[in-house]
Amino acid sequence: MEDQYHSTETRREFLKKTALLAGAIVLPEFSNGCASLSQIDRLSIDYEKDIVLNNCNLIDPKNGTIRSGASLRISHGKVIGIGNRIEAASQNFDVFELDGRYVIPGLINAHCHSTMTGAASFNPFNVMAYLRQMKRNYMLAIQSGETTIRDMGALPNVLHNHIDEIQSGSLIGPRVFHCNAIMNIDGGHPDIRPSDVSFFGNTTTFFTGNITVNFKNTPELREKLRENSDRGASFIKLTVDNRSLICGRGEIPMYSREHLREIFNFAESRNLPVSCHNHMKYGFDRIIDYPIHSLEHIIFDEFLTDDDVENISRKNVSIIPTFIVAQCLAFNEVFNEIPEEYNTEFIHNEMRIKYEYLRTTAVQYCEEAIHTDNMQHLNLYRAMNCRELISRRIFLPNPVLYFGMMKYGLANLLKMRQAGITIGCGTDAGVPYDYFGTLWREMEMLHRAGFSKQEVLRCATVNNAKILGMEGRLGVLEAGAYADAVVLRDNPFDRIEAYREPSLVFKGGKLLHARANMVRERNTLRFA
């Protein structure tokens, strides 16, 4: 028995080493693409001593208030106190003079896929771009003020290599909470197999691990639950819908009752929250009877009833709407004319914003080769219907479903907000056309949907921290919390666009991103 255990461990070790070696060979020496890093080094900040963010407008997302002329004192990665402006000259530690800029807690992206590239399909000529993009995702998160991410399904071996690199400091990136792979049944969402994507798919996943476990029976499910959890997963991710999101595909396999019993028993025994990808009312009606922690995305094929919403509220289930996915994946190209039911001002406005973004700023967040390829794929929607796409083995998301998300999903979201349900904030970045570093897009879309600017910030900080079980430690800047802080030039309660380009980003008290030039005068660091 012991021997057998020993030999599986050795095999696992071998796989890990092989994956690392393969990674080391194929990964180009990664340049962070951020000129500010050497600039930060030049500032030679001594983190052994305290640091102070001085003379700022400190925003409290809990109650939406702003304290002006505040100073935030940080020691060894944690906030130790908040007070009034101090005299830098009289201190023996470094003081960041912020000249009235706005300071918010580090943002949390509560739903993303950090080992996915945002590519609509696999192009063998883009392999190097995919590898670069996977690493850039973490850097992009930091540059946009996301100091924590919740990865909702990853290539486990790649994810763990990246987390190791972030922890060792060789890769700039956020705190990562994750579930490893998605606990789906064979053929369940996301119903694309590695071999569908590329001829080398199966070989590649030998090194990277697969994003989904695809269990075939209960014993295999049991094994995968254990394996995923033993690798540091802090929750279990299920997918509960019965239909595919891919153009031209229909029904997909579902968990049996025995599977669900197995999953929830395991979750209880390890005290792991269960989070469910759920777009369809069918899946909702089935899973809401189980002790779930969160529903990911939003029901997009039907209006929720008052009873449904009451049920979510009573069971204390949180929602991470990832509303921006609707905008990302609804494409006018599938219609000759937008059907009457989607002919709303809200949808037209979202479409205008989306196409403008794709044409102008999107490429800042994505390798050009990937983005160019994605844009060319839009022509396929114009040229072929879903049946033709699938018969040619082209697996694209079905845009019509996402128009539904802006109709039914919008109404459902507002109803849940009204009922006081905890609503988080995440992008689903990594899925096609949905790039990292763009939490601001979800925040702005929530605002256009009807959330106040104060609520939007609460979703992306306090609510997300609650969803992660990190209340009081993340998503707030108060004594005892991690010193994850984002400095903004403008007041985000005046201009929601203030989140787009943070001036400075601190994670655990360390400055990881400086958009603006900073200079040192003795112990004072100020904007040049």
Binding residues for Zn ion (CB under 5 A): 152, 428
Instruction: Check if the beta carbon of residue 94 is closer than 8 Å to that of residue 525.
Output: yes
Please say whether the beta carbons of 250 and 241 come within 8 A: no
Give whichever of 245 and 456 is closer to Zn ion, judged by the CB atom. 245
Residue 277: CB minimum distance to Zn ion, A: 6
Least distance (Å) from Zn ion to the CB of residue 170? 27
Which CB contacts under 8 angstroms, 24+ apart, belong to 3-9?
none
For 91-241, list the strands marked E by DSSP: 94-97, 102-105, 107-112, 146-151, 175-178, 236-239
- Provide, rounded to whole angstroms, the least separation between the CB of residue 325 and Zn ion: 8
* Rounded distance between C-alpha atoms, residue 110 and residue 61, angstroms: 16
Three-state SS at 54: strand
**Nearest distance in Å: CB 116, Zn ion:** 9
Residue with smaller CB distance to Zn ion, 295 or 518: 295
**Cβ 113 to Zn ion, closest distance in Å?**
6
Distance between first and last Cα of the chain: 65
Residues 6+ apart with CB under 8 A from 412: 298, 299, 303, 304
Q: Side chain identity at 462, as an amino acid letter?
A: V
Shortest distance, position 264 Cβ to Zn ion, whole Å: 21
Q: In what order do the strands lie in the sheet with 146-151?
A: 107-112, 146-151, 175-178
Which residue, 295 or 481, has its beta carbon nearer to Zn ion?
295
Question: Closest CB to Zn ion among 127 and 197?
Answer: 197
Q: Nearest Cα to 205, choosing from 390, 15, 7, 24?
A: 15
Q: Which three-class secondary structure state does DSSP give residue 371?
A: helix
Instruction: Between 152 and 525, name the residue whose CB sits nearer to Zn ion.
Output: 152
Among candidate residues 263, 276, 206, the one with its CA nearest the CA of residue 229: 263
Find out whether 417 and 463 touch, Cβ atoms under 8 Å: no
- Smallest gap, in angstroms, from Cβ of residue 228 to Zn ion? 16
CB of 439 to Zn ion, least distance (A): 14
- How long a stretch of residues is the chain? 528
User: Tokens in use for 28?
Assistant: 């180009």
Nearer to Zn ion, 152 or 304 (CB): 152
Q: Smallest distance from the beta carbon of 489 to Zn ion, in angstroms? A: 31
Instruction: Count the neighbouring beta carbons within 10 Å of the beta carbon of residue 292.
Output: 23
Return the number of other C-beta atoms located less than 10 Å from residue 454's C-beta: 17
Q: Are strands 485-488 and 504-507 parallel, antiparallel or unpaired?
A: antiparallel
Nearer to Zn ion, 150 or 513 (CB): 150
Tell me whether residue 50 or residue 191 sits nearer to Zn ion (CB atom): 191
What DSSP line would sit under 149-190, residue for residue?
A: EEESS--HHHHHHHHHHHHHTSS---EEEE-SSB--BTT-SS
CB of 87 to Zn ion, least distance (A): 49
**Nearer Cβ to Zn ion, position 183 or 384?**
183
Shortest distance in whole angstroms from residue 254 CB to Zn ion: 18
Q: Is 241 left (phi over 0), alpha (psi -120 to 50) or beta?
A: beta
Q: What distance in Å separates the CA atoms of residue 132 and residue 117, rounded to the nearest whole number?
A: 9
Shortest Cβ 481–Zn ion spacing (Å): 27
**Nearest residue (CB) to Zn ion, 19 versus 406:** 406
Cα gap 248→231, rounded to integer Å: 36
Sign of CA dihedral 272, 223, 150, 11: positive
How is residue 472 written in tokens? Answer: 């009081």
Cβ nearer to Zn ion, comparing 324 with 390: 324
Q: Kindly tell me which of 224 and 297 has the beta carbon lying closer to Zn ion.
A: 297
- Check whether the bond before 219 is cis (ω within 30° of 0): no
